[in-house]
Chains A and B, each alone.
Chain A
Amino acid sequence: MIRVVLPFHLRNLARVDGEVELEVAAPVTISAALDALESRYPTLRGTVRDHGTLKRRPFIRFFACKEDLSLEPPETPLPDEVVSGAEPFLIVGAMAGG
């Protein structure tokens, strides 16, 4: 079971409070975590990754264990602490004006 932290607006869209817990089969990669998230919450499809290309949206960032994973390939394994549930996988709206 991994823990995922969503940004405020996506928590509202998915109608969840706090962290989301997801079952993800090994290997637990960035894309596997996002697949599980979108399967559980279909309304989030297209909001983190582009529908067509599955690329990360430009103003979305991924963090885990104080590391920025945003530019890592989708098949990158998440840290052991995230896989064990000790640390969350963070999906963050990038700072940008407005």
Chain B
Amino acid sequence: MFKDSSLHIAARDSIAWWKAWLIRLIAVFLSLIVCAIVIFGLTKMNPVEVYKGIFDGAVGTSRRTWVTVRDTMVLLLIAIGLTPAFKMKFWNIGAEGQILVGGAATAALMIYAGDSMPTPVLMILMFVASLAAGMIWGIIPAIFKAYFNTNETLFTLMLNYVAMQIVTFCIVYWENPAGSNTVGIINSATRAGWLPALGGLTYGWNVLIVLAFTFGMYIYMKYSKQGYEVAVVGESQDTARYARINVKRTIIRTMGISGGICGIAGFLLVSGASHTISTSTAGGRGFTAIIVAWLSKFNAFVMILVSFFLVFMEKGAIQIASQFNLNENASDVITGIILFFILGSEFFIRYRIAFTKAHK
């Protein structure tokens, strides 16, 4: 492990797409085997039954399927939001906080303005407010990065917890019933500020909004002048300066977009899913989405697949855990194992390994 003389590792020039996908598939397959072993070890459940259970938990009923789709869409949207930042090599670990402030802005409007205006107006207002809140949360670290090169990984990370405290601060004022320290379902009687169904589909708007952003981001990154600037800044700031790109403005603008989209994910979570707000509204999605975006190499189509797969496994694991009266955090363990395997598999895509004969 500590000497590479007999093991020769060389970077690949390129790899056929099917080979890369074969390697990833093998990794996923191996991770599923390990997951099955873990679940079997804990529950003595027949491994085939395990996967039946997971399937059942994720898409067993039409309602479960829709919840899986809904959560996939939110995860996808956050990953889409992170894409421009990562493409710029700006480590936005702060999606969690950006989601929370977006969600808090949405909840505030639901609570204070829920009954005083027509639904379309309210929806647009909530959309804009969550966008703005996320933007602000994204722009703060970007300004310091742009002007003082302050480490953004740690800055955005810290802001997550500041956002969390802002939410608990709000909960003090919004709690319902009094003394519960939770907000409860907002406007549960009037359903004011709840994202309505679209053409009979409960989560129709969720899907539509996320797919629109996905498509829009694809076009933006690939064809727009700003998208080009983001790519250049990400590859080399010296080149960007040389090409007369305003690096500071690009960093701040891109983080505004990134944070804004994450803020909208908060809107979808509060108005379009849970109809409440708490510190766990983001629930680690901001972190998982980082991994989704990274593993997908910022390819929107792959992001859909990866998001769906992770949410699918998460829902399935929760189902099995509750069946055996175990803790639902089992899903995080499962997610972690799968991620380890996929992360490790990237090595075999990037590098070729050959055994060299000993030179004696």
Q: Do A and B come from one complex?
A: no
List residues of A whose CB falls within 8 A of some B CB.
none
